[in-house]
Chains A and B, each alone.
Chain A
């Protein structure tokens, strides 16, 4: 369901290491998934998306993995940089052009220099 104000989990990563942020989604019929990055005081920004007919998609330094069997998404960030520090949200889009996208509660990524 919709995020209802749960406290954000935090992931601390050393600069240069790889980061893995996980997300569980709720609707097995969802056909499209998105990762957003939200820097402090700003609106969320699109990072990468994946359709349900894929299990992996790569972008620049980011990879999204989709496991439909267990309804799990992950975002992998290679060679994490201080500028990657932000809150990361996954979102699922139910099929049929439904009006609402459902967001995960988010994970705060802290990069240690």
Chain B
């Protein structure tokens, strides 16, 4: 069966520090992978999606970047975090079938 792993679960980082969130998928190949951000009490905002290794599409201009170094690995990064980067980050995959499977999320607090 397919599973998605996302870590860390929580993270507190100072302003100006770098960020690296990792997401991996098991049990499937060539998945479409996504990073979403969810501000407190708000909906899901699509940040990046990837349809294959090295292929990244950015949905909104921002302080973040994404990379897909391997088929089942998707990384969200920042060189210097801003206070506004705080939020709940969700990785998701979408295989042949429709619909998403989400990871458990990372709560990022920038202080």
User: Residues of A with Cβ closer than 8 Å to B?
Assistant: 2-8, 32, 34, 36, 41-46, 49, 89, 91, 93, 99-101, 103-106, 108
Contact = CB atoms under 8 A, between A and B. Distances in A.
B77 to A, nearest CB: 20
Given A43-B104, A44-B90, A99-B32, A93 B99 contact: yes
A41 B43 contact: no
B90 A43 contact: yes
Interface residues of B, number: 27
- Decide if the interface of chain B is mainly helix, strand, loop or mixed: strand
Contacts, number: 77
Interface in B49-94: 49, 51, 57, 59, 88, 90, 92, 94
Contacts of B42: 3, 5-8, 105-106
A93 B96 CA distance: 13
A43 B43 contact: no
